[in-house]
């Protein structure tokens, strides 16, 4: 195993990254989040107790892991402190292991306000989590954002407020009318200050000294700002290459890239979703798979597995393997389906995923159907122990998507897994 392994979502997020990252973290010295912010919700279990990590890396429950948030992250300080308190209340200390990049962009009280405003005014809302993710990345690109290094310096804080009042319409009125919120926000800086520093340089140094680093993504490939169905995307680089950018790493040093997927598909928020099931079948998947957002509680849209989208994710990321979750949810169906291509009214048959949302909106999936299986599969611990129909479905996913399945999730608990080949 090399020093850097990347673990990311292969679909539209909510693939169950937390569960695998938590297990894999046991083999790593560092777990570093490289993009996104508290729009994410990674569900972890500690002695049966559920915790949702929004910003803290999923290695949080492993007491020897260093936990880093790198430059590509947007960070909500008040929520981060609340999250630390929640995890520490379980008896796991987080503070001594935390490193926050001085380059990470800060989500200030202004940013969720802007996010809500633009979503409520939009003719076609994106369906964001309204956590201020897009506006924070936008300010960073405009070079008027507040980064962690400046946030923890009282003089730089004040200089930033002055600059915003001068340059950004509406900011001063918002600032003056939300005094208590700003006071809490700036008070959090003092608490976070001890952990802020050159997280990237320290991470690279640790790797040079032989430490193993897991670079953890949030959201999923199909929500990538550049490669997703823009504008129905998140505002960061969710693909594997983003890890090298965020860490400032020679990309050739990344030794393994793993994707997390689900045996069916879900999406939250707006945007095209060719295999969406807007019928009783979709309702059934949502109820059985408990498909409600870990961050917003919103019902997730559900549909069949899409091999066209997975081929695209494989091409962009170069996965060494896929961890496929929630195969157990499909137990009980007469037949299961995989979209193998799309049909477009004017462009004809499409084998390649068109990220352009107007094309994607207009396509109809071309499905292959396979026999379903009725048996519960939670207790299966090998590929051969699965019903033959489930085995056939997994092989069909590999064949139609061009991926190698590394492991399968057959139930919600950590022991509900089947390893198919050498994983991380
Ligand atoms: P934002 O990231 O809050 O700006 O939301 C942009 C889009 O990404 C919306 O469709 C959200 O529902 C989606 N999104 C953001 N974070 C997640 C996530 O962690 N899981 C799934 N979808 C997400």
| The one catalytic residue among 29, 42, 102, 224 | 42
**Is there a domain that residue 402 lies in?**
yes
**Is there a domain that residue 264 lies in?**
yes
Residues 382 and 337 in one domain: yes
Strands 335-344 and 348-350: antiparallel
Q: Which atom of ligand 1 is nearest to the CA of 41?
A: 19
Q: Nearest 10 degrees: CA dihedral of 295, 297, 303, 306?
A: 0
Cβ pair 98, 116 in contact under 8 A: no
Q: What is the CATH number of the domain that holds 126?
A: 1.10.300.10
Residues 98 and 239 in one domain: yes
Show the 3-state SS of 22-70: HHHHHHCCEEEECCECCCCCEEEEECCEEEEECCCCHHHHCCCCEEEEC
Measured on CA atoms in the order 233, 238, 239, 245, is the torsion positive or negative? Answer: positive
What the block records as the tokens of 73 is 């992250």
Distance 219 CA to ligand 1 centre (A): 7
Residues 174 and 218 in one domain: no
Among this protein's residues, is 14 annotated catalytic? yes
Distance 14 CA to ligand 1 centre (A): 9
Residues contacting ligand 1 via CB (< 6 Å)? 13-14, 39-41, 126-129, 131, 133-134, 218-219, 223, 234-235, 268-269
Could you tell me the pLDDT band of residue 19, with boundaries at 50, 70 and 90? confident
pTM summary value: 0.96
**Is there a domain that residue 414 lies in?**
yes
Q: Average of pLDDT values for 260-276?
A: 97
Residues 86 and 113 in one domain: no
Which helix (H) or strand (E) segment is 208 a member of? helix 199-208
pLDDT at 203 > cutoff 80: yes
Tens-digit pLDDT profile for residues 291-333: 998 878 889 999 999 999 999 999 999 999 999 999 999 999 9
**Is there a domain that residue 342 lies in?**
yes
Residue whose structure tokens are 């207790």: 379
Lowest mean pLDDT among 15-19, 226-230, 241-245, 378-382: 15-19
Could you tell me the pLDDT band of residue 52, with boundaries at 50, 70 and 90? confident
Residues 329 and 351 in one domain: yes
pLDDT at 283 > cutoff 80: yes
Residues 10 and 63 in one domain: yes
Number of domains making up the chain = 3
* Host domain of residue 349: 260-419
Residues 378 and 397 in one domain: yes
Residues 132 and 54 in one domain: no
Distance 39 CA to ligand 1 centre (A): 6
pLDDT at 48 > cutoff 90: no
**N-term to C-term CA, the chain:** 8
Q: End of a domain among 143, 163, 193?
A: 193
Residue 159 confidence (pLDDT): 98
- Atom 17 of ligand 1, residue of closest alpha carbon: 219
- Atom 23 of ligand 1, residue of closest alpha carbon: 219
Residues 272 and 408 in one domain: yes
Alpha helix locations (H) across 240-328? 241-247, 280-288, 307-317
Residues 119 and 266 in one domain: no
Residues 146 and 59 in one domain: no
Lowest mean pLDDT among 38-42, 163-167, 232-236, 247-251: 38-42
Q: What is the CATH number of the domain that holds 268?
A: 3.90.170.10
CA distance 259 to 61: 21
Could you tell me the pLDDT band of residue 18, with boundaries at 50, 70 and 90? confident
Q: What is the CATH number of the domain that holds 57?
A: 3.40.440.10
**Is there a domain that residue 40 lies in?**
yes
Residue 49 confidence (pLDDT): 86
Q: End of a domain among 193, 218, 236?
A: 193
Q: End of a domain among 193, 227, 246?
A: 193
Contacts of 379-383 with C-beta under 8 Å, sequence gap 24+, read 380/410, 380/418, 381/417, 381/418, 382/418, 383/408, 383/418, 383/420
Kindly report the average pLDDT of the chain as a whole number. Answer: 95
Mutation test residue for ligand 1: of 107, 135, 268, 292, the one with most atoms within 8 Å of CB? 268
CA distance 9 to 189: 31
Residues 335 and 396 in one domain: yes
**Is there a domain that residue 424 lies in?**
no
Distance 36 CA to ligand 1 centre (A): 9
């Amino acid at each position: 195993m090399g020093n850097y392994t990347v673990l990311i979502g292969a679909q539209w997020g909510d693939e169950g990254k937390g569960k695998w990252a938590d297990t894999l973290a046991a083999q790593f010295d560092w777990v570093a989040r490289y993009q996104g912010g508290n729009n994410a919700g990674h569900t972890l279990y500690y002695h049966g107790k559920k915790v949702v990590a929004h910003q803290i890396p999923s290695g949080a429950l492993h007491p020897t892991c260093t936990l880093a948030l790198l430059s590509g992250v947007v960070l909500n300080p008040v929520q981060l402190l609340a999250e630390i308190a929640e995890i520490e209340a379980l008896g796991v200390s987080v503070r001594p292991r935390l490193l926050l990049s001085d380059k990470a962009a800060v989500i200030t009280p202004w940013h969720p306000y802007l996010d809500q405003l633009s979503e409520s005014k939009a003719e076609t809302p994106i369906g964001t989590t309204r956590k201020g993710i897009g506006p924070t990345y936008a300010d960073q690109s405009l070079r008027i954002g507040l980064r962690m290094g400046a946030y923890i310096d009282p003089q730089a804080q004040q200089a930033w407020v002055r600059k915003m009042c001068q340059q950004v319409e509406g900011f001063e009125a918002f600032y003056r009318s939300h005094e208590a919120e700003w006071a809490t926000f700036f008070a959090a800086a003092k608490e976070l200050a001890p952990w802020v520093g050159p997280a990237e340089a320290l991470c690279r140094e640790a790797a040079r000294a032989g430490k193993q680093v897991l670079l953890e993504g949030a959201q999923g490939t199909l929500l990538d700002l550049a490669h997703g169905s823009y504008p129905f995307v998140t505002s960061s680089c969710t693909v594997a290459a983003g890890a090298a950018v965020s860490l400032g790493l020679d990309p050739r040093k990344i030794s393994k890239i793993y994707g997390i997927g689900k045996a069916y598909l879900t999406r939250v928020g707006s945007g095209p979703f060719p295999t969406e099931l807007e019928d009783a079948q979709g309702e059934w998947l949502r109820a059985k798979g408990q498909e409600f957002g870990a961050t917003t509680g919103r019902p997730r849209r559900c549909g069949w597995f899409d091999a066209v989208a997975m081929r695209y994710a494989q091409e962009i990321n170069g996965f060494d393997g896929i961890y496929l979750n929630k195969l157990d949810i499909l137990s009980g169906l007469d037949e299961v389906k995989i979209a193998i291509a799309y049909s477009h009214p004017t462009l004809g048959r499409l084998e390649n995923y068109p990220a352009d949302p107007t094309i994607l909106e207009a396509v109809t999936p071309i499905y292959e159907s396979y026999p379903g299986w009725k048996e519960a599969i939670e207790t299966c611990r090998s590929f051969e122990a699965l019903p033959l129909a489930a085995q056939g479905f997994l092989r069909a996913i590999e064949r139609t998507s061009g991926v190698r399945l590394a492991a399968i999730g057959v139930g919600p608990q950590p022991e509900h897994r089947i390893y198919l080949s050498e994983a991380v």
